[in-house]
Each structure stands twice: as C-alpha cells, then as structure tokens.
Amino acid sequence: MPVKLSDKHMELVARMHANHPEMYHAEHAAFLKGTNLSQAAQQKIVELGAPELAHDDEIRRISSLPEAQHVAEIAKLHESKQGADDSENGETDKYLGSRSQRKGGVPIGLLAVGKGGY
C-alpha cells in the first residue's frame, strides 16, 4: 500500500527543492531511471524539455516495448500532449468555440452590447 503524503509533507518537499535544486535534479534522474526506459528515451525526454512525460500513464506501455522503439514512442507521446488543451478553462473554451458553429448560434463576438443588432 502506498504511503499517503500529507499536504504539510509536500510543502516541506517543495521548500527543500527550492533550497536544494541539486536534490531535485537527483530525484528526477532517479525517477527517470526507474521508468525502465532506454537511456536514449530518457535523454529524449530531457531534450524535449518535457519532464511531465516521465509521469505519464503511457510510460508503462512504452517501457514494455523493445528498446529500439522507445525514442519514437516518446516522440509520439510528446506530440500527442502538445495538441491537448490542459488549461483550467480548456473544456469551457472548446464549448464556447463550438457554440458559434451550431445551427442558429450567435457568434460569441456578437454577444457584446451594441454589436450585431442584439
């Protein structure tokens, strides 16, 4: 059973990382090594500047593939994440954008007072 980390503990970890960046570097390097990805794939994550990929759920699947495929799969994973809108308002933005595409919908820009005769 995994250890439950309290908010206080995570606050202390964040403070430690802020004060000791070399420890943060060592922890991330250890985490990357623990993914069972080839060294080339680990290096690709570093080159892409995308440390969040090491924590993605797809890493287990990628690490189970032959090592020769790791780098290509990491690149594909990175590409797929680039197109995703992970912002806090991403779903709302998509919804509002689709409203003007619907039949009979009023384009969002025309909803402002004094525009479009409404």
Average pLDDT on 67-74 reads: 96
- DSSP calls for 28-84: HHHHHHTTT--HHHHHHHHHHT-GGGGGSTHHHHHHTS-HHHHHHHHHHHHHHHHS-
Q: What is the pLDDT of residue 24?
A: 86
Q: What is the pLDDT of residues 21-56, one digit of tens each?
A: 898 889 899 999 999 999 999 999 999 999 899 999
Average pLDDT on 63-80 reads: 95
Q: What is the pLDDT of residues 72-102, one digit of tens each?
A: 999 999 998 886 655 666 677 677 777 666 5
Give the predicted TM-score (pTM) of the model.
0.61
